[in-house]
Chain A
Amino acid sequence: MSVFADFDTIMERLASQRLWDFPGGVRPEGQKALSNKHAIETMPIPQKLFIPLKQHIGVDADLVVKVGDYVKRGQALTESHNPFALPVHASSSGTIIEIAPKASSHPSGIEELTVVIETDGKDDTVQYHPISDYLNQPHSALIEAICKAGISGMGGAGFPTHVKSSNVKPIEFLIINGVECEPYISADDRLMREHAWQIRQGIDILAHLLSPKQVLIAVEDNKPEALKTISIACQQQTNYQVISIPTKYPAGGEKQLIQVLTSREVPSDGLPIDVGCLMYNVGTCYAISDAIIEGKPLTERVVTVTGKALSQPKNIWARIGTPVADCISAAGYDRDRQVNPNIIMGGPMMGFTLRSGQCPIIKTTNCLLAPAAKELPTIEQEKPCIRCSACADACPVSLLPQQLFWYSKSKDYDVAEEYNLFDCIECGACAYVCPSEIPLVHYYRMAKADIRQQQLDKEKSEKARIRFESRKARLLAEKKAREEKHRQAAAARKNAMKSDGSNAKDKIAAALARAKAKKAQQATIDKSANDKSGNDQLASNQSVTNNPEQTPANTKENTPDKNEKIAAAIARAKAKKAQQKMSSDIPLEKSAESNEQVTDNNNNQSGNALSKKEKIAAAVARAKAKKAAQQKNNDS
């Protein structure tokens, strides 16, 4: 850490408001005034809630409810023991009417498993279990409560908060991100203005969990009201410092904000914790406070509904699972008056166009943008790159966007990776400044997806290779075992032939030899059986075959087995005969049926004889058809 500014230097500079800067960046028009004038409104509870099971980075949890169940607000719909899984909760009371794949709030719009709740308007809640004396609770209990409340990062990426909070490394700076640098969005701004005290409670809990040396609360200087309220809320805490950040996009990016505050750069394949920092969004702090102080799981969040296509852009408290169409109509959206109706989830720089109005609000949704036709002109044909290098000047990560663009476009992914494609934070600053209107970020996203897919394929092919090779080894071992068995049997026969004398002694010797050969044969059979079965069996059975004293017992055990086997084999042979007869002569099916029942009994299969008969007939017919088709093919 010696290459970075140390704690004291940073504190000194912060005290005198001399911050650092990150390279590049752009200054688009904020457009925040559209939505930040009014207090956050509470949406009426929608008639139907669409709650996708997966709303964050990590793995899905298991469903614990079924269609027809009555659920109350705050009731968990899923649970899991996987540390990277988060539960989702019913965000109002009602009946589950459907659990099916529905359009997801993902750029692809691919359908994902969603619980549909028809609300009853009562909004009954489950019994909450607040932890009011959290200072006296073990950390694990708090982290469990955060996990059970289903909190994931609410700034955008949606990383499970409890995983971040289970950190054990020492932390110098706990950074609370209230920067909200993307144009149009004002959800965090309003939240800080109206609920600064509760955010402060959330920060207190995090500070208790992580015990950082210093807590930094960063707010962009275009939000003076929020800065003021949050400063008042935090003034009692000596190691809390509210810092005003110069407005520049993307100052709210995790790595950029750390750089602005501490001058430390997060390594390319590292995490903020590697430079002694940990960052949470203000919305996440609010949710943590809800989860601990009031015991309330995450069932609603602030969403900015904005854009010039709306008559009343505003911020709303939206229940998780509210269809987007409900939110925008609450803000006065008239689809019929739009020339080019499209709704963007997220901001204008990093958001994506939604596929359908039925997509739900999820935990990471901070903004819905309904632009007027003139406001967000659609990108026309991209023009050739003129190598103006404006993109390189704008890049906040000091990458070379031109090179990345060429190599991504020509699918030269190795080189693109050499140019650190994966350090791109997809902020869109390069595409914003590009005079040729090249959708640069789009190329990077495609290249990243392709590379990830290639890596997955590589892993899969490696697995297939291992499986193929172990299968080959297994087949070889089986073959060797078989040959060995044949060899031993042949040797035994030879011996017997040689000593096929007339005197009794010879006969005894021959019998002994036969017995020995049999024993050896059994040993090899056991061995080959072992080779087939799992390793744990191998050990136990090998000890049996290796121990001569146990062999007699072994053979004794095998005798009844053998009788059974013979019986089964006879039955099988009978069945086969019958089947053959049947296939050559279909009227004889009756005898086949009776024989089939015999085999049925043998296999302990109590199936419906008639349906089985039908199935066999169908299978035989299919087999015949296949044969006929093959013959036809051969003939032609």
Chain B
Amino acid sequence: MITYVSYAILAVAVLAVLFGLILGYASIKFKVQSDPLVDQIDNLLPQTQCGQCGYPGCKPYAEAIANGDEINKCPPGGEATIKELADLMGVEAKPLDAAHGVEDVKKVAFIREDECIGCTKCIQACPVDAILGAAKQMHTVIIDECTGCDLCVDPCPVDCIDMIPLAETSQNWKWKFNQSGTGDIPIRTVQ
């Protein structure tokens, strides 16, 4: 009787050790470097790096969300981002927290170049290195790289940076409803 019990205990113990070894090996071999959830959240954020959420960039905010922060602090992403974040996190979507700003049209920074004194302060402020220039040389914004984060506007000592809405071109134009007679399509009308 005793021997049967001891056999059983021995077998279970051996199995436990074996699985322990396998799990231990797997945890080293297949170690996940960063939290995949943070990356997933980071992918949904608009990457303007504007800091309006109160964190220094989108990645830190993604980490904060992963640790339980609210998902409605990102004005550049707006409702669409909140909806996606809510889907990902399995929580209820809420309206944008007005304390962090309001959703706005897409803008890019524009430096009035003849007023620029070449102080490089905006260059230091730009989170994505989208401003070109050197000390005492005129600066300019690379429009394609600008995320419209607003961070360069405040540091400018001479207020020569404007945030200008992106112009609508025939490439980014969207079909609109209820403008019959102008741009509407005449489908379904041949009877």
Using a CB–CB distance below 8 Å, which chain A residues touch chain B? 28-29, 31, 104, 106-110, 112, 183-184, 340, 342, 344, 348-353, 355, 369, 371, 375-379, 428, 431-434, 437, 439-442, 445-446, 449-450, 453, 456-457, 460-465, 467-468, 470-471, 603, 615-616, 618-619, 622-623, 625-626
Contact A471 B174 (CB under 8 A): no
Using A355-B182, A450-B174, A618-B115 as known contacts, say yes or no to A441 and B187 having CB atoms under 8 A apart: yes
Q: Among the listed A183, A348, A449, which residue makes an inter-chain contact with B174, where contact means beta carbons less than 8 Å apart? A: A449
CB A425 to nearest CB in B, in angstroms, measures: 13
Give every chain B residue within 8 A of A355 (Cβ-Cβ): 182-183
Other contacts beyond A468-B49, A468-B127: 16, CB < 8 A: A29-B191, A106-B173, A110-B170, A352-B185, A353-B183, A376-B189, A379-B180, A441-B185, A449-B173, A463-B145, A464-B145, A465-B47, A468-B128, A470-B129, A622-B158, A622-B159
Q: Taking the complex as formed, is B34 at the interface, i.e. its CB lies under 8 A from any CB of chain A?
A: no
A353 to B191, CA, bound (A): 18
Instruction: Name the one of A376, A445, A460, A461 contacting B186, with C-beta atoms under 8 angstroms.
Output: A376
* CB pair B186 A464 closer than 8 Å: no
Write the chain B residue with the least CB distance to A106.
Answer: B170
Q: Are B158 and A428 in contact (CB under 8 A)?
A: no
Pairs A–B under 8 Å by Cβ, sample size 30: A108-B173, A110-B170, A183-B190, A344-B186, A348-B190, A352-B185, A355-B182, A369-B186, A375-B189, A379-B189, A432-B190, A433-B188, A439-B188, A442-B184, A460-B47, A461-B45, A462-B47, A463-B145, A464-B48, A464-B128, A464-B147, A465-B42, A465-B58, A468-B49, A468-B128, A619-B115, A619-B117, A619-B158, A622-B157, A626-B157
Interface class of chain B by DSSP: loop
A349 to B187, CA, bound (A): 5
A379 to B184, CA, bound (A): 10
Is A107 touching B130 in the complex (CB atoms < 8 A)? no
Task: Check B127–A428 contact: CB distance below 8 A.
Answer: no
B67 at the interface (CB under 8 A from A): no
B170 in contact with A376 (CB, 8 Å): no
The reply to whether A342 and B181 contact each other, CB–CB distance below 8 Å, is: yes
Question: Contacts A467-B128, A468-B57; is A623 near B186 (CB within 8 Å)?
Answer: no
- Complex: how many Å from CA A340 to CA B127? 53
Q: Is B136 an interface residue (CB 8 A)?
A: yes
Contact partners of B184 in chain A: CB under 8 A = 352-353, 442
Asked if B177 lies at the interface with its beta carbon under 8 angstroms from chain A, I say: yes
> Which residues does chain A contribute within 8 Å of B115, judged by CB atoms?
615, 618-619, 622
* Nearest CB on B from A604, distance (A): 11
B174 & A467 in contact (Cβ 8 Å cutoff)? no
Q: Does B175 contact A (CB under 8 A)?
A: yes
Q: Give A353 to B114 CA distance when docked, in angstroms.
A: 43
Inter-chain contact total with CB atoms closer than 8 Å: 153
Does B6 interact with chain A (Cβ within 8 Å)? Answer: no
- Contacts A446-B174, A449-B174, A464-B128 given: A432-B180 contact, CB under 8 Å? no
| Contacting residue for A108 out of B47, B114, B183, CB 8 A | B183
Quick one: which of A28, A104, A615, A619 contacts B190, CB cutoff 8 A?
A28
In the bound complex, what is the Cα–Cα distance between A517 and B173 (angstroms)?
62
Across the interface, do A432 and B173 meet the contact criterion of CB distance under 8 Å?
Answer: no
Distance between Cα atoms of A464 and B130 in the complex (Å):
9
Cβ A449 vs Cβ B175 within 8 A: yes
Q: Are B187 and A432 in contact (CB under 8 A)?
A: yes
Tell me the complex Cα distance, A375–B191, Å.
Answer: 8
5 closest Cβ contacts across the A-B interface?
A461-B47, A108-B173, A428-B187, A449-B174, A467-B128
Q: Is B183 in contact with A603, judged by CB distance below 8 angstroms?
A: no
> What B residues does A342 contact at CB under 8 A?
181
Contacting pair A348 B145 (CB below 8 A): no
- Whole-angstrom distance between the alpha carbons of A351 and B183 in the complex? 10
- CB neighbours of A439 from chain B (8 A): 185, 187-188
- In this complex, which of B42, B45, B173 has the most chain A Cβ atoms within 10 angstroms of its Cβ? B173
A71 to chain B minimum Cβ distance, whole angstroms, is 25
State in angstroms the CA–CA spacing of A471 and B46 once bound together. 17
The residues of B that contact A432 with a CB separation of less than 8 Å are 187-188, 190
Query: Is B169 engaged at the interface, CB distance under 8 Å to the other chain?
Result: yes
Cβ-based interface call for B168 (8 A):
yes
**A461 CA to B59 CA in the complex, in Å?**
12
**Are A467's CB and B129's CB within 8 A?**
yes
Chain A residues with CB under 8 A of B176: 446
Residue of A whose beta carbon sits closest to that of B183? A107
Point out the residue from A377, A616, A626 that lies within 8 Å of B189, measured CB to CB.
A377
Question: A106 to B171, alpha carbons, bound, how many Å?
Answer: 10
A57 to chain B, nearest CB (A): 11
Name the A residues within 8 Å of B186 (CB-CB). Answer: 344, 348, 351-353, 369, 371, 376
Shortest CB distance B53–A (Å): 14
Do residues B188 and A464 form an inter-chain contact, with CB atoms below 8 A?
no
Contact, CB under 8 Å: A110 / B57: no
Which single residue of chain B is at the shortest CB-CB distance from A469? B59
Most-contacted residue by chain B among A110, A377, A462, A616 (CB, 10 A): A110
Determine the distance from Cα of A471 to Cα of B126 in the docked complex, in whole angstroms: 10
Q: How far is the CA of A223 from the CA of B114 in the complex (A)?
A: 65
Closest to A463 in B: B145
Given the known inter-chain contacts A467-B130, A471-B128, please indicate yes or no for A623 contacting B158, CB distance below 8 A. Answer: yes
- Complex: chain A residue closest to B189, CB-CB: A376
* B27 interface residue per 8 A CB criterion: no
Contact B188 A471 (CB under 8 A): no
Partner of B46, one of A348, A428, A461: A461
- A431-B188, A442-B187, A468-B128 known; A107 vs B145 contact (CB < 8 Å): no
CA A107 – CA B48 in complex, angstroms? 31
Inter-chain contacts of B157 with A (CB < 8 A): 619, 622-623, 626
Please state if A446 and B175 are interface contacts (CB–CB under 8 Å). Answer: yes
A472 to B168, CA, bound (A): 32
Residues of A within 8 A of B174 (CB): 446, 449-450, 453
Please tell me if the beta carbons of B173 and A457 are within 8 angstroms of each other in the complex. no
Kindly report which residue of chain B lies nearest to residue A348, judged by CB atoms: B190
